[in-house]
Structure 1
């Protein structure tokens, strides 16, 4: 096959049947849509090209900068596309959590601007969130100067062309490869909601009975490319009516699913694909036992595993022949979480004034610099993980109050510090967001 441009290679990815000996489903044929085989490595190639293409000629003529609020695969694909057209690309995000992606973006010539967002993705309802402000600036066309020449903002969280890329490509390809039949179930991880919404729309137009299962990350877990149950409602393209059910997957489950795909199926998929596989089998297994006729299910393997070695090393070092972390927050039990002493804002303020605890803020440095509790100390959660490997990182003679954006991570770390022997460690209920919303004092640095 010959092509005139690499963008012509986007799409038309294989649909591959998973060996039943691997997943154990007796009456359901499970297929993986291998979006990781797109030329830039992920399902986001489709949306990036579809969103950017209409404005590229004008952007080139006016010397604009391509901008997206992304720290992952959308940014990677747009950086490639922008570079092909001689345009600069800027990624705006609150935190680059996967080092390999950040390094690749820099290699591609991208500019990276990290801002102190409150969540992992844009929250359009929070008018004080810097990511929201930058989004509005870009959407309104503000911020252009003679030097920048303006912006081409692809706007993945609100641009309906994100959905159209899959309604015109991914969905019809699945129907074609299943000989014109819609699958009985479509299982999709939910990030910007573009792929799940676009594919679901096409499949249900063909057969309204198609079951659509949306997968989100467990509340206290991070899975690259997937929103947790709270964050997903902040995404402009997300419509809960698209899904018959939303189910959560933990980081450990995503890695388990990824291991099955890479070791048993020969599919070098990343943790997002692993989450999709794990969630699909878990949802389908009880249904499979009641079936008397064959059914079909499809999930998406979103991207490739190579970009996530640091993610695996941090969470499952034994997989890379490294000793397991003896003090890992991933091993905290539900009983330990329930035993954590959490403090509401009024109670915490009084306790701080009386006991002078060490206040540890686990957020990123940009969020901390924007607003933080006075006299608190900033230790980013990844660095805190490293410190914990050497033992209890704080003295036992002073009480400790842990804070994070919404109180979930701080509760897990409080449970771990308690297990490690600290006699008085507590978690701020609702985190810095609750503190701010209560009107409690915050300072800037």
Structure 2
């Protein structure tokens, strides 16, 4: 194939059948849509090009800056596209959590603005959040920005209505699959593909996958965050299920080692979530067969969103033994759900009284910019990843001094409280609802 531009190579990615000996499904053909083979490496290539292309000529004339609130694949694709057209690109984010992506963006000539935000992703309903104000500023008509606005731009979804969805139907010989399993990030790909598939067959079951509340999986929102995304519509999905970081890495390993598909954590989570959901379906079909009925065969599709190479530091932090490094017994990733549930926690009212009475060490686990925006008086800022590293060498705090841990919504802090208790700390507690609950209760915050 010959192209005049690399952007002509976006789309028409393969649909590959996963060997049944790997997943064990007897009555279901499972397929992976390999979006990692797009030229810039991810499913976001489609949306980035579809959102930017109509306005590039105008942007070149005015000397506009391409800008997006993204810390991942959308930013990467837009940085490439902007550079191809002689335009600067700026990524605005609360926090760059994947070092390889940050380094690649810098290599591509992008400017990265890590600005204070109160949540991990944009919450347009929170008018006090600096990210919300920035979003509104760069979206104003007449500004010197080409803001692609992936959270609300209908061309994000349209890229998959026009491309990804029809490609799946075509490769299945004109049929929609019986099941479509999709990880939910900005919700553009899952929404667009689901719409196309249901036009072909209204009976298609759509399963949305989100990250477990206490986990971070690059490219997947957790169930709280996903409701902040403008393109998300819960009606798109027949069911929404959570996958953990460990499940995502297990799925990644299966695809990489057994299928030759160099999938990142999102693809790994999609595979694991798909197999977990489909096992019950397969069991029901097997029961029909055992009863003498002919259940027929079913088909299912999941998306491999991007490549593994950008996430080696993510894997190293969570599963160091996979990279021939010693396991980290003191890592927060080793805390079980039962341990987290048993950890001491307290609501805002009780925490305020406790602070006044015992003067505990208050550790704020949020990013530095969020801390600078607003924090509990007297607290110290130790970003969660750094605190996790500190714990490798043992307790970094006096085990006798009470500790109150705070994060955005109280999920991570509960796990760190459980970990400190496991390591012998006398009194480690978590702030229920995190800094958000503290703010909503009208408790005082120091604002920078």
TM-score relative to the length of structure 1? 0.98
**Aligned match of 1:183 in 158, 177, 180?**
177
Question: Residue 220 of structure 1: CA displacement?
Answer: 0.4
The match for 2:342 is: 339
Distance 1:321 1:92 in 2: 35
The match for 1:414 is: 417
The match for 1:389 is: 392
Contact 1:138 1:153 in 2 (8 A): yes
1:154-212 Cα distance to aligned partner (Å, 9 max, x none): 00000000000000000000011000011000000000000000000000001100110
Is structure 2 residue 9 aligned with structure 1 residue 9? yes
Question: Residue 340 of structure 1: CA displacement?
Answer: 1.4
Distance 1:168 1:336 in 2: 47
The match for 1:283 is: 277
Question: Residue 350 of structure 1: CA displacement?
Answer: 1.1
Is structure 2 residue 57 aligned with structure 1 residue 32? no
Question: Residue 285 of structure 1: CA displacement?
Answer: 0.5
1:101-143 Cα distance to aligned partner (Å, 9 max, x none): 000000000001111222221111111111111111111247x
Question: Residue 274 of structure 1: CA displacement?
Answer: 0.2
1:198-241 Cα distance to aligned partner (Å, 9 max, x none): 00000000110011000000000000010000110110000111
1:311-357 Cα distance to aligned partner (Å, 9 max, x none): 00000000000000010111112332222111111111111111110
Q: More displaced, 129-138 or 196-205?
A: 129-138
Unaligned 5+ residue runs, structure 2? 286-294
Question: Residue 23 of structure 1: CA displacement?
Answer: 0.6
The match for 1:147 is: none
The match for 1:159 is: 153
Distance 2:60 2:336 in 1: 54
1:346-372 Cα distance to aligned partner (Å, 9 max, x none): 111111111110000000100001111
Which contiguous aligned blocks of 4+ residues in structure 1 show a shift greater than 3 angstroms? none
Contact 2:23 2:275 in 1 (8 A): yes
TM-score relative to the length of structure 2? 0.97
The match for 2:291 is: none
Unaligned 5+ residue runs, structure 1? 145-149
The match for 1:356 is: 359
1:238-293 Cα distance to aligned partner (Å, 9 max, x none): 01110000000000000000000000000000000000000000000011122221
The match for 1:122 is: 122
The match for 1:212 is: 206
Distance 1:215 1:260 in 2: 18
Distance 1:191 1:118 in 2: 18
The match for 1:303 is: 306
The match for 2:267 is: 273
The match for 2:256 is: 262
Secondary structure of 1:181's partner? coil
The match for 1:313 is: 316
The match for 1:67 is: 67
The match for 2:288 is: none
Is structure 2 residue 89 aligned with structure 1 residue 89? yes
Secondary structure of 1:289's partner? helix
The match for 1:110 is: 110
Question: Residue 77 of structure 1: CA displacement?
Answer: 0.0
Secondary structure of 1:152's partner? strand
Distance 1:118 1:62 in 2: 33
Where in structure 2 are the equivalents of 1:366-381 lying within 5 Å? 366-381=369-384
Contact 1:200 1:212 in 2 (8 A): yes
Distance 1:271 1:43 in 2: 14
Contact 2:90 2:111 in 1 (8 A): yes
The aligned length equals 439
Contact 1:141 1:151 in 2 (8 A): no
Distance 1:276 1:343 in 2: 35
Contact 2:401 2:426 in 1 (8 A): no
The match for 1:328 is: 331
Distance 1:41 1:369 in 2: 35
Distance 2:196 2:215 in 1: 31
Contact 2:95 2:120 in 1 (8 A): yes
The match for 2:217 is: 223
